Structure 1
Amino acid sequence: MTTESAGSRTRLRLAPMRPRDPSEPGRSASTLELFFDLVFVVAVSIASVQLHEALTEAHVVDGLVSYALIFFAIWWAWMNFTWFATSFGTDDWLYRLLTIVQMAGVLILAAGIQPLFADGDFTLAVAGYVVMRVGLVAQWIRASISNPDLRRTTLTYAVGVTVMQILWIATLPLEGTARYVVVPLLVAGEISVPVIAERQRALPWHPHHITERYGLFTLILLGESLLGSSNAIIEGLRGEHDLVQLVSVAVLTLVSTAALWWIYFWPPHHESIGSLGRSVRYGYTHYFVFAAAGALSAGIEVELDVINGDSKLSDVAAAFTFTVPVAVFILGIWWIAMCDFADRFTNIVIPAGAALILLDPIVPLPFAITSVVLVVMLVVLVVHPTVQRGQGEGDRPLVQYEREQRGLNE
């Protein structure tokens, strides 16, 4: 907290919710943001377990649809808080309290994941989602009070989010086909709110801070895959199944997860956001990157079930539950953060490698081949460093940001 904001606190010990400087030096994730992420570890873990159970029982379509929907709620709530915090990270007691309210909503959502997968019951999941969003609406209203010049944008967010929550509640009585027709429309409505609001007047954001937050959430998701590696070793030590095969899966999982980490953090992500279009592309495409990373751990568990004889999927189908998430993850990162900073050779090898990984299940030893392809990609990235573009579009001081906005308004 700056001296200025600390000195201007009200009698309620609340600081004005002013926009943060987008070029603030040393801006990094706060302990509150890291604490906030912890509840998403719970939600992501439960979603991954439910997807694993659906896939191993050969309920592929139902499992993927439920996972896509519940992960949208997880990702969208996390992303909305993250972008709000990078603009208005006022760390006083009310800001903390409203953040904890959103965390409570995540835990309620997590409790509703199993009923959604098992019975298609949306009630608890929607209740948790609404609690999360109500907390965020309160934050937007507070930002509108402190910033008359940004009031149209902040109130557009507040009204848009509120309307969407009313519509989500209205869908609860729907069943069957009607619900699955309406839900995509609601998803489209949700993702359109920021686009509409930012066209009123764009909010300032810190490129290094926002991309650090995305990176930290990626680490959380990749950590779920490492848990699958550990489970493989545990299964092997029990002595009931082929120890060599299980340990091989554990090693290859570690290699693959480490390679995905390397690939994700190879490009300078903060250079990939700037204009509204680039920021939307970066933020929204991360849904597929995050969902793929979360699904990867489910694919690993499915492969373990195949080895142990507990899966209803064929060997080829089970291999796809691993290779598809890997390929989607790589293609997503290549498109939003890598292709602008890689040379022509790298921009051929990376998507081609992802396509090859998609085909791995039709050849013997798909796990091993996928790991080999990933290692080849890493060699290419090491030999071909990033091509720097200089200062990112988002690296502009607050004074310059305000001048740009005045020019737009005039």
Structure 2
Amino acid sequence: MRPRDPSEIFRSSSPLELFFDLIFAVSVSLASAQLVAAETHADIAGGLRAYLMVFFAVWWAWMNFTWFASAFDADDWLYRVLALTQMAGVVILAVGTTPAMADGNFHLIIAGYVVMRLALVVQWIRASRSHAGLRNTALSYAVGIAVVQVFWVCYPLAPAGWAVPVFLLLVALELLVPLIAERSGQTPWHPEHIADRYGCFTLIVLGESVLASTIAAANAVENANQLLQFSLLGVGGFILAAGLWWVYFSSNASAWLRRRRAPMIFGYGHYFVFAAAGAFSAGVKVLLDHEAGSSGLSSAAAVATLSIPVSVFLLGVWVLILRLCLRGAYKWLFPVGALLIGCAPLLAQLTPTAESDVQIAVISVLGAAAVMVLLVVLIEASGVREQEEPGTAPAAG
């Protein structure tokens, strides 16, 4: 298991990694479904708390596999077996998503983590024996992961009132492991490969929102009396999802990663981007349930479950990527537009023609979609997609 060449040309996601992503798609979908259930019953705070906790488990498992594979993907039979073992752990984690979010029971998620983490520890030990220069780094990862995993096994013993603080403490320990291990020597991760892997995960979570918008169109056909409302909400949801895709893939993140400056900020910061995308797909479903009369939320609150995640996603992409690429007024107009989308429910309530909850919801979603279109126009006008390197002028010709 020798390190991969970080300057390898045309390095992209392998079939094994794409298969791994499909397993994670199930976990994201189940977490999103539980968030929908909580928000529909007006338990927004409790649902978000549980969702963010479970989503960390999903995201962190994916991230650990991704960065290890970028540096040490040997693709031999043992590597594949250990990777498939990690996938089995993800399946267990996915099954545990529902009891964790509904009842606070993390036993199955922790069991899935044990399977995944033990397999990853074996991978790091293999890596330590294959390259003397990275032996200390690999062993630091192996020991750190194993020690923190012991604490996770003990997590269910924490008193009920201390569950969240203990969880946050363990999260901090997890995040410290790579920071400490990389000080012994940086692993040779591949910039283009990492950008491609993060792009794949973004597509997975955005796919959930496209599915929700498609369901809106199906509901419009089945509910002729609400044909216009469901159709408009479906169109607005699709425009927002398409805009999120456009914005995320508008710049060359790999060029910035190639400089190897603060890669952990890029990696860790994507937790908020991914979680917001998953919450957005849940918000689309919550809004559809509200329009069908099966939600205890007000129209403004239902729209907020959709618009605020979109705003968080856009601001996250701006902080991690676009802030380094945009110049002049474009750099600051973008976050202003992102904040306006988050305020969409308030803007609709100020509209004189919004006389009913249905009008408030439709005007809010269409207003947010209109701002998203303007942000896409801003992206195109700025010339970001023509830049060869972040922060450079567009290429001539």
In the superposition, the TM-score normalised over structure 1's length comes to 0.89
Cα-to-partner distance string for 1:88-127 (whole Å, 9 max, x where unaligned): 0100110000000110111101111111122111111111
SS in 2 for 1:91: coil
For residue 299 of structure 1, report the CA deviation from its aligned partner: 0.2
8 A contact 2:236–2:365 mirrored in 1: yes
Match for residue 372 of structure 2? 374
Q: Using a 3 Å threshold, how does the CA distance of structure 1 residues 223 and 391 change in structure 2: closer, same or farther?
A: closer
SS in 2 for 1:354: helix
Match for residue 121 of structure 1? 105
Cα-to-partner distance string for 1:345-372 (whole Å, 9 max, x where unaligned): 2111110001111111112211011000
Letter in 2 for 1:73: A
SS in 1 for 2:319: helix
Identity %: 48
Match for residue 193 of structure 1? 177
CA distance, structure 1, for counterparts of residue 224 and residue 144 of structure 2 = 55
For residue 229 of structure 1, report the CA deviation from its aligned partner: 0.6
CA distance, structure 1, for counterparts of residue 89 and residue 259 of structure 2 = 31
Match for residue 407 of structure 1? none
Match for residue 147 of structure 1? 131
Cα-to-partner distance string for 1:46-86 (whole Å, 9 max, x where unaligned): 00000000001111111111100110011011011100011
CA distance, structure 1, for counterparts of residue 165 and residue 243 of structure 2 = 38
CA distance, structure 1, for counterparts of residue 286 and residue 370 of structure 2 = 21
1:258 corresponds, among 242, 245, 267, to 242
CA distance, structure 2, for counterparts of residue 158 and residue 241 of structure 1 = 59
CA distance, structure 1, for counterparts of residue 224 and residue 140 of structure 2 = 59
Letter in 2 for 1:370: A
Letter in 2 for 1:382: E
1:146-185 pair list within 5 angstroms: 146-185=130-169
CA distance, structure 1, for counterparts of residue 255 and residue 382 of structure 2 = 18
CA distance, structure 1, for counterparts of residue 101 and residue 294 of structure 2 = 20
For residue 276 of structure 1, report the CA deviation from its aligned partner: 6.1
CA distance, structure 1, for counterparts of residue 260 and residue 20 of structure 2 = 26
Q: Using a 3 Å threshold, how does the CA distance of structure 1 residues 62 and 188 change in structure 2: closer, same or farther?
A: same
Match for residue 351 of structure 2? none
8 A contact 2:95–2:108 mirrored in 1: yes
For residue 174 of structure 1, report the CA deviation from its aligned partner: 2.2
Match for residue 329 of structure 2? 345
1:18-97 pair list within 5 angstroms: 18-97=2-81
Match for residue 356 of structure 2? none
For residue 277 of structure 1, report the CA deviation from its aligned partner: 5.3
CA distance, structure 2, for counterparts of residue 77 and residue 275 of structure 1 = 25
Letter in 2 for 1:345: A
8 A contact 2:325–2:390 mirrored in 1: no
CA distance, structure 1, for counterparts of residue 159 and residue 45 of structure 2 = 18
Match for residue 104 of structure 1? 88
Unaligned runs of 5+ in 1: 1-16, 393-410
Please state if 1:360 is matched with 2:344.
yes
CA distance, structure 2, for counterparts of residue 241 and residue 172 of structure 1 = 49
8 A contact 1:272–1:282 mirrored in 2: no
Match for residue 3 of structure 1? none
Letter in 2 for 1:379: V
More deviation, 228-237/173-182: 173-182
CA distance, structure 1, for counterparts of residue 40 and residue 137 of structure 2 = 46
Match for residue 304 of structure 2? 320
Letter in 1 for 2:305: T
CA distance, structure 2, for counterparts of residue 35 and residue 313 of structure 1 = 38
Match for residue 227 of structure 1? 211
For residue 341 of structure 1, report the CA deviation from its aligned partner: 1.2
Letter in 2 for 1:162: A
More deviation, 110-119/44-53: 110-119
Cα-to-partner distance string for 1:103-153 (whole Å, 9 max, x where unaligned): 011110111111112211111111112211111111101100111211110
8 A contact 1:235–1:241 mirrored in 2: no
For residue 274 of structure 1, report the CA deviation from its aligned partner: 4.9
Q: Using a 3 Å threshold, how does the CA distance of structure 1 residues 241 and 228 change in structure 2: closer, same or farther?
A: farther
> What is the Cα-based RMSD across aligned positions, in Å?
1.4
More deviation, 41-50/377-386: 377-386
8 A contact 2:252–2:390 mirrored in 1: no
CA distance, structure 1, for counterparts of residue 102 and residue 203 of structure 2 = 28
CA distance, structure 2, for counterparts of residue 391 and residue 174 of structure 1 = 46
- Number of aligned pairs? 376
1:130-141 pair list within 5 angstroms: 130-141=114-125
Unaligned runs of 5+ in 2: 349-362, 392-397
1:208-219 pair list within 5 angstroms: 208-219=192-203
SS in 1 for 2:343: helix
For residue 239 of structure 1, report the CA deviation from its aligned partner: 2.2
Please state if 1:280 is matched with 2:278.
no
